[in-house]
Chain A
Amino acid sequence: MKSLRSVLFAAVVLITVLPVQAAGNLVVDLSKPSIGIATDFIGEDLMIFGSTLGQGEVIIVVRGPERAEVVRRKEKFSGIWINKDSVNFRSVPYFYAVASTLPLETILPEETLIEKKIGAKYLEFGLEWDIRRSADMHEFRNALIRNKWRQGLFSKELANITFLGHQLFRIDIHFPSNVIPGTYKIETYLVRDKKIISQKNKELVIEKVGIESGIYNFAHDKPYYYGIIAVFISAIAGWLVSVFFRKS
């Protein structure tokens, strides 16, 4: 009798609370929806914050726009270091950062990390794997990550998400001055018992603003006119200098 009651109670709780929890047990927002790159841009911090219902660990992944990259290896050629072998990667996120409340491997199995692309070492980067060069490929892949670290575009350490109380969490992600414009995806996962039980996606837009965006877009959209104008600006400037300094 007693056990039946508790089973019933559990059922009621499950039916009434769980759907609500599954849908709304993770709330995330960004301190700003976009970051502008203006002439005075020296990098910027973004705060990601949110709350969870109930227990669990939180993982946040920030992915920049993807583009094709090439890693080249220098080799010594009669005393001089020169680029030799190269490996192409078709889809490398320009920026990549992961933050978590605990080390990734302790809260999720590797298969999940690979599947969800969580953690730089689990990313494939669109590499066309050449089995004959397997050892080499690993080296080039590691070099890609290492170069991105050095440029501050991949986070070297796992950023530590802090909980404020039991439910509120926040983390600051730094975007250095060399980020490129584009849409940055911010994925937040709630993890319990080695499983992802909820995921929320947000987008951050990084764009060039003001004169920066004007010049950049113009150079790429209308390269002929850009070239002609660049020539004219310089020509007029040269003429002005000549006139100005002759009189003085």
Chain B
Amino acid sequence: MDVYLPIAEVSVNVFLILGMGGLVGFLSGLFGVGGGFLMTPLLIFVGIPSPVAVATEANQLIAASISGVFAHWRRRNVDFKMGGVLLAGGIVGSSAGVWLFTFLRGVGQIDFVIRVSYVIFLSIIGVLMMIESFRALTKNHGRKISKKHHHIWLHGLPWKMRFRRSQLYISAFLPLGIGFIVGVLAAIMGVGGGFIMVPAMIYLLGMPTVMVAGTSLFQIIFVAANVTLLQSINNQTVDVLLALLLLIGSAIGAQYGARAGIKLKGEQLRALLALVVLGVCGKLAYDFFATPGDTFTLGPLVGH
């Protein structure tokens, strides 16, 4: 059954989109990852124009993070103050990101930038996950025992703030800066940025691990909403019909993923996810080096 998407202006198979939503939702439920970093490339692979894929994924992300944040909220694992500061950075970052996106689209480099960003970040995540799962699989638990608060120059920044829930007293510039960077990425790549946010919160801010996921999800809701709004206004690239299909698929997938996660062995699965990530990354990277079938491309003239 084919459905014509009003904004993407292409015809796609409903079950393919639902299936993709389900698969990515399953993985995100299983591993507790956002899944945006897999969904956007998949959408591009099936022929959704990349500006529409990115903007629509941001829209779908609102739903995914809201449904996720409730679970953490009930367990009181959300640091709203920290979330608020991250969010302030995130709003500025995502606004700058959408502006950059519009500019790059005008000069014809947006497709390239989206793909490059994906290749860079997917290869980093993929390799890190691979290393981690290999370590676990070979039972070589050589985890470095690092101090929770090892001081680097970043901690010497002024404008210190107290975050009671996270038991931290740090410069507000740190979460502001992290929020800003993740906001830019959210706008350009259509991702929640959990894969950067989470390690940054643990290693740079030194937040307690239990607080990280909930706080990150909390601020992603608003950053994604900001991106959705600005993309709608500047580029008209948010396809609500596509977002709705993805949302249904991923909501169902995530539930099964979460259940499966309890029963299945984590480490093999993590290696498998790493392979999926590297596979997607490899396909994107290959397209850069492979000689294109036609070196000329055609597109509408925008921004003139």
A37 contacts across to B, CB distance below 8 A: 4
B10 partner residues in chain A, CB cutoff 8 A: 177-178
**In the complex, residue of chain B having the shortest beta-carbon distance to the beta carbon of A231:** B225
Q: Which one, B16-24, B152-160, B174-182, B290-298, is touching chain A?
A: B290-298
In the assembled complex, A63 has its CB within 8 A of some CB on chain B: no
Query: Interface 1/0s, chain B 58-72, versus A by CB < 8 A?
Result: 011111111100110
Determine chain B's interface SS by DSSP, over half rule: helix
Q: How many A-B residue pairs have CB under 8 A?
A: 178
On chain A, which size bracket covers the interface?
35 or more
A34 at the interface (CB under 8 A from B): no
Which one of A22-30, A166-174, A191-199, A212-220 is at the B interface?
A: A212-220
Taking a contact as CB atoms closer than 8 A, the residue among A68, A82, A220 that contacts B236 in the complex is: A220
Residues of A within 8 A of B232 (CB): 219, 223-224, 226-227, 230
A27 to B6, CA, bound (A): 36
CB pair B289–A81 under 8 Å, yes or no, is yes
Q: Complex formed: what's the CA distance from A150 to B292 in Å?
A: 14
Verify B296–A146 contact, CB threshold 8 A: yes
Q: B238 within 8 Å of A by Cβ?
A: yes
Number of interface residues of B (CB under 8 A): 54
Which A202-222 residues have C-beta < 8 A from chain B?
Answer: 208, 211-213, 215-216, 219-220
Say yes or no for B151: interface residue by CB 8 A criterion: no
Is A184 part of the contact surface with B, judged by Cβ < 8 Å? no
Chain B 16-41 interface residues, beta-carbon cutoff 8 Å to A: none
CB nearest to B290 among chain A residues: A81
Q: Which of B2, B63, B290, B299 contacts A234 (CB 8 A)?
A: B63
Can you spell out 7 A-B residue pairs with CB atoms less than 8 angstroms apart? A72-B296, A180-B9, A230-B59, A234-B62, A234-B247, A241-B63, A242-B71
- Taking Cβ atoms with an 8 Å cutoff, the residues of B that contact A are 2-4, 6-7, 9-11, 59-67, 70-71, 108-109, 111-112, 221, 225, 228-233, 236, 238, 240-241, 243-244, 247, 251, 255, 288-292, 294-301, 304
Which residue numbers of A lie inside 8 Å of B, CB to CB? Answer: 37-42, 67-75, 79-83, 86, 88-89, 139-140, 143-144, 146-148, 150-151, 177-178, 180, 208, 211-213, 215-216, 219-220, 223-224, 226-231, 233-235, 237-239, 241-242, 245-246
